A and B are shown apart, each in its own frame.
Chain A
Amino acid sequence: MENFTYSYPAGKTASKKVLVGVVASGDLEVLLEPATAGATSVHINTSVTGKGKTWGEVLNRIFITGALPAAKIDINDCGATPGVVRLRIEQAFEELNEPDAKGGRYE
């Protein structure tokens, strides 16, 4: 197991909690929670070792502009490729714009 934590600039506080994905082979789960405006933290928990540089590059592309809402993000990864990682994170932020069912909605 390897753990990484990254911090990025961000916009206003994210509007709700979101969960996407499942910890299955080649997939990952992304837990997104609202954080104080201006900063996003990303914590990664992965079963694949030695890929720290790749994680940094994938996350930089998504977060470096600071345009996304501020969130505390936890990622539990089971060997997802960089493409899948990016899709799942983007899916989590898209879910922020979905209308809310009663009591919050995440699949």
Chain B
Amino acid sequence: MNRTATHYRDSITELSARQRARALLDAGSMRELADPFCHLSSPWLGLQGITPQADDGVVVAKGSFDGQPTVVLAIEGGYQGGSMGEVGGAKIAGALELAAEDNRNGIPIQAIILFETGGVRLQEANLGLAAIAEIHSAIVDLRRYQPVIGISAGPVGCYGGMSIAAGLCSYLIMTREARLGLNGPAVIEQEAGIDEFDSRDKPFIWSLTGGEQRFQSGLADAYVADDIEEVRMAMRTLRARGTPPSHRSDLFENYLGRLAMIDTGAPATAEMVRHLYAIGLES
């Protein structure tokens, strides 16, 4: 890459969810479903003194990618930490279910999910959790027909129940800025103590949960720069692989075997995790 190209890098992390969806789809092809002017906002947040957003922080964008029908589901990390509530969760689950239905009817639509989320929206409790469960089953349904590609660009990353959704995707793309984990750093520190996990130690957090580490450990399939064109190229490469013969989540017994080998007496290191996950997961 020459100097000029570096200078004019087109960042994805600096874009809003809606801008990301538009940038990833073929130029001029985006059409938003259940858009903000439908006023599908959370009925629960206002009751708790939190201002609802007109799209509940989720963008459902239909269009094409390299000519193939595509739906992009983009979570807005800037609104309530990208948390999943009843409405936003239903927008994602509903779109994935319709995409699976389209495939059964001969329309080869694929789904791209932009994970920028701390997980369930605590203010909506079980309704958010139920929506996330629906998202999980919808991904598992759709990935039989088309690869479901997840992208975590940052800066929020992907946590909680939505990290499980990312794990269920056929392929996952991450940038260096992104993080992927079930529990966030502050939660781990609170539960396990600061000796186990110091949530203020950012290099440590990224070394264990950052995009590069997740890629080196085989939990992400592409590691890209913070650049729209690089993300699109990774989407193209992964899509060309088709639906994987076995999904990562089908290999859960192998992963459990790896986890059983860990010596929990010593704090985990990035090298140890990479080494462990590199052992015989291909079967």
- Tell me the minimal C-beta distance from B10 to chain A in angstroms: 15
Q: Quick check: B49 and A1 within 8 Å, CB to CB?
A: yes
Nearest-CB residue, chain A, relative to B16: A107
- Tell me the minimal C-beta distance from B9 to chain A in angstroms: 20
Q: Quick check: B78 and A24 within 8 Å, CB to CB?
A: yes
Q: Name the residue among A24, A31, A77 with the largest chain B CB count within 10 angstroms.
A: A24
Q: Quick check: A22 and B37 within 8 Å, CB to CB?
A: no
Number of interface residues of B (CB under 8 A): 22
Q: How many Å lie between the Cα of A103 and that of B61 in the bound state? A: 12
8 A Cβ contacts from A12-57 to B = 17, 19, 22-24, 29, 31, 33, 45-47
Given contacts A22-B76, A45-B46, A103-B31, contact A31 B37 (CB under 8 A): yes
Q: Describe A's contact surface by its main secondary structure.
A: loop
Inter-chain contact count A-B, CB under 8 Å? Answer: 53
A19, A33, A78, A101: which contacts B51 (Cβ < 8 A)? A78
Q: Name the residue among B19, B51, B52, B76 with the largest chain A CB count within 10 angstroms.
A: B51
Flag whether B243 is at the interface (Cβ < 8 A): no
Q: Quick check: A1 and B28 within 8 Å, CB to CB?
A: no
Say which size band chain A's interface belongs to: 20 to 34
- Tell me the minimal C-beta distance from B84 to chain A in angstroms: 16
Q: Could you pull out 15 A-B pairs where Cβ atoms are within 8 angstroms?
A: A19-B37, A22-B16, A23-B52, A23-B79, A29-B53, A31-B37, A31-B54, A33-B37, A47-B49, A47-B51, A74-B54, A76-B52, A76-B53, A76-B54, A107-B19
Binding site for B on A (CB under 8 A): 1, 17, 19, 22-24, 29, 31, 33, 45-47, 74, 76-78, 101-103, 106-107
